[in-house]
Amino acid sequence: MALFIDSSDPKEIKDLFAWGVLSGVTTNPLIIAREAPDADLGERIREVLSVSTGDVSVELTTETENEMFEESLVYHAWDTQRITIKVPFSETGLRVLHRLVKRGIKTNVTCLMAMNQAYLAALAGATYVSIFSGRVRDMGYDVRPVIAATRAVLDREGLRSLIIVGSVRHVMDVNEALEAGAHVPTVTPQVIRKMVWNPRTIETIAEFNNAWRGRSKTR
C-alpha cells in the first residue's frame, strides 16, 4: 500500500512530504492549468521532483501516436528514474503504452472507468492503472466493485500493474478504495488534510493537555 499526492504545487507537496506518509506524486493537465496556468511545464515538474520522492506522473496532451510517443520521451528525459508517463486510455494510448513499455519507461494508464479497461492496460505492461473513483460515481455506479474486480484479476493472473485510485473527492473515497484493494489512492492536499482531522481527537488532546497544565498549577 502507498499514498500519492495529486498536485503540482511544489510548496504544498514539500509540506505534505514532510509528514512521511507519501510515496509519489500524480499530476494532470487540469490540475496544472488550475494551479499554475502560466507555468512552464518542464520547470514546474522539475520543482515537483526537487521537493518529493518516488514516481511523478506527467500526463500526455497530444493525440496522435507519434506525437504522444515523442512527448513521452521529452518528459522521461527530465528524470529517467522517477518520471512516469501518464497515458490516456484509448486504442492509440495502448499503442503508445506498448512502445514505452518496450523501452522500460514507467507508465500510468489514466482515465479508466471499468475493470476491462484496466485489464487491457495491465496486459500491455502498465506500471500503474488509474481508476477514477469520483467520475465512476458521477455515472451512477459504485466504484468499489470495479476496484475489487480489477485487483482480483491482477492477482489471479500475476499481472504486476498497481491500481491507483484517483478522482478522490472525500475521505470516505480513500477508505473505500483501500478496503476494495487499491494499491495507491492519490489524493489532493485538501483531502489528505481532512484525513488527519477528527473533532474527537482534538477534544481528547485538549483534555489531556489541560489536565497536565492544571496539575502543574497546583504544585
Active-site residues: which are they?
86
Q: Quick one: cell of 115?
A: 475493470
Instruction: Give me the DSSP letters along 80-139.
Output: TTTEEEEEE-SHHHHHHHHHHHHTT--EEEEEE-SHHHHHHHHHTT-SEEEEEHHHHHHT
Q: Is the CB of residue 16 less than 8 Å from the CB of residue 189? A: yes
Candidates 147, 160, 156; CA nearest to 115 is 147
- Contact at 8 Å (CB) between 147 and 182? yes
Crossing angle of helices 91-102/65-78, nearest 10°? 40
Instruction: State whether residue 162 is helix, strand or coil.
Output: strand
Q: Quote the cell numbers at residue 91.
A: 486504442
